[in-house]
Structure formats: structure tokens, C-alpha cells
Chain A
Amino acid sequence: MSATEIQSPRSGQIAGKPESGKIDPKYRRNGSSRGNFEMLAWLFMRLSGVVLVVLIFGHLIVNLLVGEGIHAIDFGFVAGKWADPFWQFWDLAMLWLAMLHGTNGVRTIINDYAEKDSTRFWLKMVLYAASAVIIILGTLVIFTFNPCPVVDGVQLPGGFCPA
């Protein structure tokens, strides 16, 4: 085969069988370098999306629509919720799924609109750094939350401390 000859993507590698129907490896979209990453990202958006609808609607109903709504939200409200592992897990799942879903969405937008290679690269690095900071910070806050914070042996006002 000469170098100038244009080969059909489906002509395959097997000599003498040009119409084998197999896609030539060099035209396969799931090449070894990227693996199935883009397909898995696509699937993740749909799966996390369904779960997030439940988690976020639940979050909005409990925090804004029940009882006196937004006026009830203060330190004690958060302390009351996170005293229950159910809400800790709920908020942790919401944090991770929403951040990964949002980060992948913004990654897609950067890939679409930033045309210069270096611009695209640096925008994504800033995005990943910001997302990592927020995910780690949020996770630490949920797990190290203290309803009765004490600084230098003095209980901070507004805390929920055992008598």
C-alpha cells in the first residue's frame, strides 16, 4: 500500500480482506491513550445527575421549605443536622457528586470554547485545583465538625455544649 492511498476506516488490517468490517485500530475512538475516559465521563454525568436531583431537591425542601424555612438556618441548625450520620452522608454524597458533575461540565465548556492549547490547559488546571480544594475542604468540615468549639480553653459563644 502506498503512502498516498486513502484507506477506508473499515478496511481493516488483514491483507486481502479489505472489507472485513473491523475498524482499523488507528480510527478507533477508544484508543489506548485515553481509554474509555470520555465514555465514562458521559455515563457519570447521567448517573450522578439522577442522584443529584434527589439529593438537591431533598436538601432544598428540608432547608428552605419546611418549618420556618431560611430563618431557621444558623449554627444550631447545621449542628442538629450533622449530629445525625444520615445527613452527614447525604451532604458528603451531595458535595462529591455535585463537585465532580460540575467540574466535568465546566471541563467540557473549556474544551469547547478555549481554542489555544495552552489556554485550555491552564484553564483546566485552575478548574481542577479549585475543585480539589473545595472537595477536600468540604469533606474535612463534615467530618471534623465540632458542635462545641473551644479556643484556648474557652467555649465559643453560640456553640452547642454539653452542660
Chain B
Amino acid sequence: MPTKPAGTLYRGREGMWSWVGHRITGVVIFFFLLVHVLDTSLVRVSPEAYTAVIGAYKNPLMALGETGLVAAIVFHAFNGLRIIAVDFWKKGAKYQRQMLWVVLGLWVVTMVAFAIRHLSLALGGH
């Protein structure tokens, strides 16, 4: 097993893991986007085709999937703003670690609020 290089400031630390998270969430969002444009395009086929396929988004399992997707989007959004701050703000690189904790804090708060609202709507019936 390769030994861990001593004294690294980046590898295995907050900077690297936020980069890994940004990549993974980015790819997930991109593939969903391809599917989402295709399903929305069914409005051009027929009203019933669209309403039938969009109905697939309304079952309880999909509600959890949507919550996971929104979690990926919100992390990518907040961490993206952090990356912009690292690049353009004079002290951005110095405070990149603190900013990651701010990102994660805001992400938790946003996701708790979203999950309560979306899951109660999606699972609560109507």
C-alpha cells in the first residue's frame, strides 16, 4: 500500500473532498438534466404522454430520489459560490476551509427545510 505523503496541505483534506463532491454532484445533475429535457419534451408529443410520464415522478420512491437530486444541486450551487470566492476574493484561498463549513451548514439548513416541505407534499397525498 502506498504511504501517505507527509505534510500535504491538500490531499485528503477539505479542499480535496469538496472537489470530489463537486465532481460527483455535477455529473449526477448533468445526467438528470438530459433525462429531464427529454421528459419535458413529451409536451410536444401529447398532453396525455407528458402527464403519464411526469406521473412517474410522483411516487414515494421518486420523492426520495428528488430530495437526493436537490441535495446534489444545493451542494453544487453553494460549493460553486465558494469556488468563485476562492478564485475572485482576495482572502478566498486563505478561508477556503472555513467557507466549506459555511457551505455545509447552509446545505443542511436548506435541505432540512426542503425535505420537510417536499416530502410532506409528495407523501402526504392530496
Contacts and interface: CB of A to CB of B under 8 A. Distances in A.
B57 interface: yes
A74 B49 CA distance: 10
A73 B51 CA distance: 8
Interface residues of A, number: 43
Interface string B18-40: 00000100110110011001101
B57 A70 contact: yes
User: Is the interface on chain B under 10, 10 to 19, 20 to 34, or 35 or more residues?
Assistant: 35 or more
B11 interface: no
B27 A106 contact: yes
Nearest to A106: B30
Interface string B76-108: 010011011001100000000000000000000
Interface string B48-79: 10110010011000010010001001000100
A62 interface: no
Given A78-B40, A138-B41, A149-B46, A69 B57 contact: no
Contacts of A134: 33-34, 37-38
B112 interface: no
Contacts, number: 110
B38 to A, nearest CB: 8
SS class, residues of chain B in contact with chain A? helix
User: Most chain-A CB neighbours within 10 Å: which of B37, B57, B58?
Assistant: B37
A157 interface: yes
A107 to B, nearest CB: 11
Nearest to B34: A134
Contacts of A102: 26, 29-30, 33
A129 B112 CA distance: 38
A3 B72 CA distance: 53
Given A49-B84, A70-B66, A158 B122 contact: no
Contacts of A74: 50-51, 54
A73 B63 CA distance: 14
Contacts of A157: 47-48
Contacts of A122: none
B44 interface: yes
Contacts of A141: 40-41, 43-44
Contacts of B44: 140-141, 144-146
15 contacts: A49-B77, A53-B80, A56-B73, A64-B70, A65-B118, A70-B121, A70-B122, A73-B57, A99-B33, A102-B26, A105-B30, A106-B26, A130-B34, A137-B38, A156-B48
Interface of A: 46, 49-50, 52-53, 56-57, 60, 64-65, 68-71, 73-76, 78-79, 95, 98-99, 102-103, 105-106, 109, 130, 134, 137-138, 140-141, 144-146, 149, 151, 156-159
